[in-house]
Structure 1
Amino acid sequence: MNLLMLSDVYFPRVNGVSTSIRTFARSLSRMGHAVTIVAPDYGEGSGQEQHDGQGEFEVVRVPARVIFFDPEDRLMRADAARAVRESLAAREWDVIHIHTPFRAHAMGVQLSRELDVPTVETYHTYFEEYVGHYLPWLPSALGRFVARAASRRLCRGVDHLIVPSAQMGEVLQRYGIATPHTVLPTGIDLGEFQGGDGARFRQAHGIAADRPTLVTVSRLSLEKNIAFLLRVVQRLVARFPDLLFLIAGEGPDEARLRRLAADLRIDGNVRFFGNLDRRTTLLDCYKAGDAFVFASPTETQGLVLIEAMALGVPIVSTAVMGTAMVLRDTHSAMIAPEDVDAFAGQVAQVLQSPDLRARLSAAGPDDARRWSSDALMRQVEALYGALARERAALAAT
């Protein structure tokens, strides 16, 4: 099949949506499909795509401008998007897969109508919970109303929805969205999350081999709830004075989090490492942790939890929305409520018990196997094929 994927975000912008799109593209191209991704141009270097033998696909970059309230992201320019849409309309597509609700959505819906091609849209982001962080001047009730209304309008415009978790599907049903949906998490390429050398990472950054260490991997933004984890660390330092918390990731909340660490007097127990190479230093960073900690309440998937599992890093996490799905029936994680004392208590158990760490670590790779992207992408392939056949049958009548 010829598959067109449209998104308002993609690498070098690092987040779960970018990772999900690349996983789709790599897996489907390895399965023999031709995949084209259309995404914003982020400037110098953003057009240099990786071709590492893990699946070849085409990336079309659209000139874009900075968004004033979210400078990490880009909005594709309307004139440039129109020109790209016209060139795409001259090609043949079997399915159009939309990943974000902005210019990419509009482009995909227009192409679908022009070419009579079925559309799939993945509902990646729980926008109702995000709108208050990005538009703080908007009253909370109004923001939620707008997010729900926009979701209903956008979802009506496509043929089928993919939701990464059953919990997100239930949210859309509460919105009154009747568009058919399939629960299909992206999963991860397990081949990418093997190895890793925690001792090498510790040595490179002057961290003693026996120093108790926690790690999280996340975009640094309000909705990821890293401030809560800093308060957990503050509580733990009383019991583990040399505790170290490693934070891998970048984002608009970094300055506030650094100030909070200083205010809590734990800045000597916290290190920020920015975005690390996913094939090398990120794996080492995961493995450097005695435990992986996570507390985001808005995840539709929680891919970093699966990555930690695959690498055999013990996990302590809340279980809300997508993370509840990932952590259900696992043997590699301790599930804690979003309560500083209770969460810190679970982490303390892991830190002080080598036997518990070993048991959680050993269970991780087995827990991760059910999230293999190759197996999950077979279901995506089947969905695409069914939609294409259905559209062809309608055209023939």
Structure 2
Amino acid sequence: MPKAYRYRLYPTKSQVSRLEQTLEICRWVYNETLAMRKNACEQEQKHISYYESKRQIPLWKKERPELSTVYSQVLQDVSLRVDLAFKAFFRRVKPGEKPGYPRFKGKGRYDSFTYPQYGFKLDGDRLHLSKIGDVRIVLHRPVNGTIKTLTIRRSSTRKWYASFSVEDDPSPTPQKETAVGIDVGLESFVTLSNGEKIENPRFFRTDEKALAKAQRKLSKAGKGTRERKKARKIVAYVHERIANRRLNFAHQASRHLVDRFGTIVFEDLNIEKMKKNHHLAKSIADVAWNQFIVITKSKAEEAGSRVILVNPRNTSQTCSRCGMIVAKTLSDRVHSCPRCGLVMDRDQNAAINIMRLGLQSQG
């Protein structure tokens, strides 16, 4: 199964200069490849393939010798990124979705490059990168499996990371017989069908005042000044802190579930549609349900467990004991059935219905 490992890099000043130069050269190749394919399509009604655009790189090297300072396969991967962007565009056009034409990358807007097969080597606490040198890396956990690709990424706060894409043979633990339904929410992060709850940490809400203060300083700073550059970095730090806390919480909560249950059932929610409710959009984005479900799926696959997604229709309105539809508003926090007399927390009632639907779908 494919896995990804991310580690922090600590390059020297000279290595940072070479890394940033590599990003700028990759950005130039990306924009040139995109312009070539765009012009061919608009002016000649001709489609340029990935292999044709890749063959253009040696010709550009003759005109721009600085392209030779970047490993050849890294530049080929840039052409592949443009090709994937066009394929995604045409894939969205067919069903009538809003396609979003591939865009040119402005200065500072290209933040990663990839070694597809070769050009890198991991040796202890050093990562050898072709054309760049031996960069110090902090391996906080071992890389298990066969390394396929390496992506070097620069964060918004100018930190550098190495992400290894790995093929690994999972060693699943014995299948657990226990099953659980999960109702995600805003009051509580999740409610389990057995009545347990995980509280909503509200990371964005907690740091909202600090973020607003940093953004006010940014808006007051003059464009192009040193103060504005410093203020922008502070805003990026606050956003990064929120994202890191949210990701760490999702990993811990998903591990808690996967270690206990063999079958985990979620609702298949249309989160983008739910965000159109402007009263709840900020809170829905803050809890990051989709990130949590994706991480749980990944951990479950590795552990030999399974994650099931079910239709969310009427899971909150249906009585989990007798099946009667009991209408509720968002402010109604207790399920009270007039037919069978069941009274319980509305989220637990929904979680029981979710588990039932998941188990029924598996026969």
What TM-score results when the alignment is normalised by the length of structure 2?
0.28
Normalising by structure 1, report the TM-score. 0.26
From the CA coordinates, give the structure whose radius of gyration is larger.
Answer: 2
